[in-house]
Structure 1
Amino acid sequence: MSIPATPVFRFAPSPNGELHLGHAYSAMLNARLAEATGGRLLVRIEDIDVTRCTPEFEADIFRDLAWLGIEWEEPVRRQSEHFAEYEALLLRLINAELVYPAFMSRGEIRAHIAEVEAKGRPWPRDPDGAPHYPAADKKFSRAERQRRIAKGAPFAWRLDTQAAIDRLDEPLFWQEFTDETLAETLAIQARPEDWGDVVIARREIPTSYHLSVVADDALQGITHVVRGRDLYAATGIQRLLQHLLGLPAPAYFHHRLIVGSDGRKLSKSLGASGVAALRQAGVSPAEVRRMVGL
């Protein structure tokens, strides 16, 4: 097993609900791999969604992780405390003319796509099934963009993905571990074009999941990103941002998802799969490990 001198892992939940079995599996797997490799485990609170994330849910996360027997380093990084750092990276992308203000509302997006599809032309979707942004306002002049922003028009900063790809000298890859032992890796070619022009920041919040996660992984020296398979395809966009911003790329392992009795991925609507509910029902941490296959 080829492992850097001091591997650094992280578990990065959002405090917008309670932890469920899927979160427990990811946290325990990160902790186990950190211990097995002589590495470090960090916990990061991804709370850029300040309307849904609460201190109460954050406290619940720490309580559940401690009950599971997981130990992590202090201090914990909270994304909501680092907006200035993300904004500095956003300004670099703006100055490089790699992002643009996108003004179309959800209704306008739906109407535009419906008009195109009514003519028999399929509209591209991203790996999550959401339609690509039409990007009609990419053609606006700088003066028109500034006029709209000055008038208070709602907008989001979107990555001009094709323009960013055109600046690549060669295809982008990432290192993907093949199983929970981290014994073997594959080189996976990134496909950021599959996502279209993704949101990089919003008018009221100068970041997004994609921008903040690559910034945090770099700033915290994360060497191994171990997270759910549902984020596998998103790695393509994140590798592109890492390249554009000159940030290091960690190695990745996208683990299996824990699913409910209906075969669907668990969500924070919880039910009996919530860690707190299991604890209150008398389930032990050892039993939780067995439930998730650890």
Structure 2
Amino acid sequence: MPPVFRFAPSPNGYLHLGHAYSALLNFDLARRAGGRFLLRIEDIDATRCRPEFEAAIYEDLAWLGIAWETPVRRQSEHFARYREAVELLSAMGLVYPSFESRAEIARMVADREATAPWPRDPDGAPLYPGAAQSLPAAERSRLIGQGIPYALRLDMEAARARANQLTWVEHGEGPHGETGVIRAQPEAWGDVILARKETPTSYHLSVVIDDALQGVTDVVRGRDLFWSTSVHRVLQFLLGIPEPAYRHHRLIEDASGEKLSKSTQATGLRELRGRGVTPSEVRRFVGLSDDLRNTTGGC
């Protein structure tokens, strides 16, 4: 079977050079390996994702010379599939609802940090500090019945007890040069959110399900998602789905050394195209050769 690569942007802004690098690298690797290249639209955030941004993704990628298989998978069309996965994990006793708002969680963390540092995940966000896991079932039902917003969280301690030791093989390089066999550390993320009352999935859940359903064999993405792989490995184990090969690549940074964001207009593909920049010049900007025999991408 030929390898399958994918590029999976969220339509919550216009693409920039960092997206161009990741998309081109995946496309080049697929062509060099005689494999397939998929485009997936990760549009689960209904408040930020907009049709004009999705249309711009197609425009920008086509301008770069990238071709993809159709139909394109749009995550917003598959909420029922993600809900099934949450129900499966719930049946294992691994999911519980938490009812604190973001502001309430921030206050709880601040209270705890008045006396000692509170642990944070690899992205710098505080771990969930609440006690919703110990709420009696009747109280949970009462709060849900009242229409109180909630998040469905993975009981990471129980999940880790089932999964034991997990690893992945890193074919690229992590933020500090990590490569080869990497020990997954999902506990570093605490009880991650799998879904919310209004959105029956999360990035972590939908990405592992989609990669499995689409037969993705090679996940090539930025180093900012390197440690997220720990969460993805435990979900893959629990859901009984295959582990793809992982290759995390360098990030394209601005002049100050910060990762590009979708608000960085100077590096937006639409702005560059409007200034007469060519696709070949974009490839050079991000350090990619036009020669497929040299598709390394400086991972």
- Shorter-chain TM-score category? over 0.9
Q: Secondary structure at the match of 1:175?
A: strand
Question: Which residue number in structure 2 is paired with residue 182 of structure 1?
Answer: none
CA displacement 1:191-225 (0-9 Å, x = unmatched): 00000111100001110000000000000000000
Q: CA deviation at 1:286?
A: 0.3
Q: Secondary structure at the match of 1:266?
A: coil
Between the aligned partners of 1:72 and 1:124, the Cα distance in structure 2 is: 41
Q: Secondary structure at the match of 2:180?
A: strand
1:175 aligns with 2:169: yes
Q: CA deviation at 1:107?
A: 2.3
Q: 2:272 aligns with which of 275, 278, 285?
A: 278
Q: CA deviation at 1:161?
A: 0.6
Q: In the alignment, is the contact (CA less than 8 A) between 2:194 and 2:201 conserved in 1?
A: yes
Between the aligned partners of 2:172 and 2:10, the Cα distance in structure 1 is: 26
Alignment of 1:72-111 (within 5 A): 72-111=68-107
Question: Which residue number in structure 1 is paired with residue 124 of structure 2?
Answer: 129
- Paired positions, count: 283
Q: In the alignment, is the contact (CA less than 8 A) between 1:135 and 1:197 conserved in 2?
A: no
Q: CA deviation at 1:114?
A: 2.0
1:33 aligns with 2:53: no
Question: Which residue number in structure 2 is paired with residue 288 of structure 1?
Answer: 282
Q: 2:66 aligns with which of 64, 70, 83?
A: 70
CA displacement 1:238-266 (0-9 Å, x = unmatched): 11001011011101111000001111000
Question: Which residue number in structure 2 is paired with residue 23 of structure 1?
Answer: 19
Tell me the amino acid that sits aligned with residue 157 of structure 1.
L
Q: In the alignment, is the contact (CA less than 8 A) between 2:155 and 2:191 conserved in 1?
A: yes
In the TM superposition, structure 1's runs of 4+ consecutive aligned residues that sit over 2 Å from their partners are: none
Question: Which residue number in structure 1 is paired with residue 159 of structure 2?
Answer: 164
Between the aligned partners of 2:130 and 2:114, the Cα distance in structure 1 is: 19
Q: In the alignment, is the contact (CA less than 8 A) between 2:172 and 2:246 conserved in 1?
A: no
Between the aligned partners of 2:51 and 2:84, the Cα distance in structure 1 is: 26
Tell me the amino acid that sits aligned with residue 230 of structure 1.
D
Q: 1:203 aligns with which of 190, 194, 197?
A: 197
Q: In the alignment, is the contact (CA less than 8 A) between 1:223 and 1:250 conserved in 2?
A: yes
Unaligned runs of 5+ in 1: 180-184
Q: In the alignment, is the contact (CA less than 8 A) between 2:105 and 2:130 conserved in 1?
A: no
Between the aligned partners of 2:61 and 2:106, the Cα distance in structure 1 is: 41
Q: Secondary structure at the match of 1:235?
A: helix
Between the aligned partners of 1:148 and 1:16, the Cα distance in structure 2 is: 32
Which is further off, 34-43 or 127-136?
A: 127-136
CA RMSD of aligned residues (A): 1.0
Between the aligned partners of 1:115 and 1:281, the Cα distance in structure 2 is: 51
Between the aligned partners of 2:228 and 2:87, the Cα distance in structure 1 is: 22
Question: Which residue number in structure 1 is paired with residue 112 of structure 2?
Answer: 116
TM-score with structure 1 length normalisation? 0.94
Q: CA deviation at 1:171?
A: 0.7
Q: CA deviation at 1:115?
A: 2.0
Q: Secondary structure at the match of 1:27?
A: helix
Between the aligned partners of 1:114 and 1:49, the Cα distance in structure 2 is: 27
